[in-house]
């Protein structure tokens, strides 16, 4: 799933849809805030990982709760429209960071940058991060 398709889908949501529960802790808006937080973090992660050639921090842990909580708090006051614009802004910034280094150069280091191109992997078995959350949101909307 392309991020643009996910974002286009979010634009179709009604204002009250954003408060639908996705799970016991997160609403749709929280899920989107979480996604924006990761997108924002990607810019720095790409630069630092390219420079140091060290694994990104999220490869070294399975505990992302603190990172996710910070993103949800950071974007709590954003309207859905502003949150979508923020996602698009960080998406453009990520693309710029990729372009500075070169997609082909980054792909030469799948040990460090596989996560950037997971949606392009034809052998992928598991849903991408975007697909996972898209499916969660769709499911939560069916409940309401």
pLDDT tens digits, one per residue of 32-75? 999 999 999 999 999 999 999 999 999 999 899 999 999 999 99
Whole-number percent of the chain with pLDDT over 70: 99
Look at residue 22 and tell me if it is in a domain: no
Helix (H) or strand (E) holding 51: helix 28-52
Mean pLDDT, the chain, rounded, equals: 94
Question: Per the domain annotation, does 120 fall within a domain?
Answer: yes
Q: Specify the 3-state DSSP secondary structure of 66.
A: helix
Question: Is residue 143 situated within a structural domain?
Answer: no
- Structural domain range at position 52: 30-128
pLDDT level of residue 2 (50, 70, 90 thresholds)? confident
Flag whether 142 is in a domain.
no
Residue 9 lies in a domain: no
Domain-located, residue 110: yes
Adjacent-strand bridge partners of 27: 21
- Scanning the structure block, which residue is given the tokens 């009250």? 16
Contact present, 122 and 114 (Cβ < 8 Å): no
Q: pTM for this structure?
A: 0.92
Residues 6+ apart with CB under 8 A from 55: 49, 111, 112
Two structure tokens written together for 41: 């973090």
Count of structural domains within the chain: 1
Residue 123: inside a domain:
yes
Please say whether the beta carbons of 28 and 137 come within 8 A: yes
Is residue 39 included in any domain, yes or no?
yes
């Amino acid at each position: 799933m392309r991020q643009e398709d996910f974002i286009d889908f979010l634009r179709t949501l009604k204002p009250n849809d954003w408060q639908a529960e996705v799970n016991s802790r997160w609403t749709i808006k929280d899920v989107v805030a979480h996604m924006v937080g990761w997108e924002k973090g990607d810019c720095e992660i790409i630069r630092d990982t390219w420079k140091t050639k060290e694994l990104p921090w999220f490869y070294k842990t399975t505990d992302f709760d603190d990172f996710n909580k910070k993103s949800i708090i950071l974007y709590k006051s954003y309207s859905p429209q502003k949150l979508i614009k923020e996602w698009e802004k960080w998406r453009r910034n990520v693309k710029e960071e990729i372009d500075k280094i070169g997609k082909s150069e980054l792909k030469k280091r799948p040990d460090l940058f596989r996560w950037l191109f997971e949606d392009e992997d034809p052998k992928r078995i598991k849903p991408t991060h975007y697909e996972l959350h898209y499916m969660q949101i769709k499911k939560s909307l069916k409940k309401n």
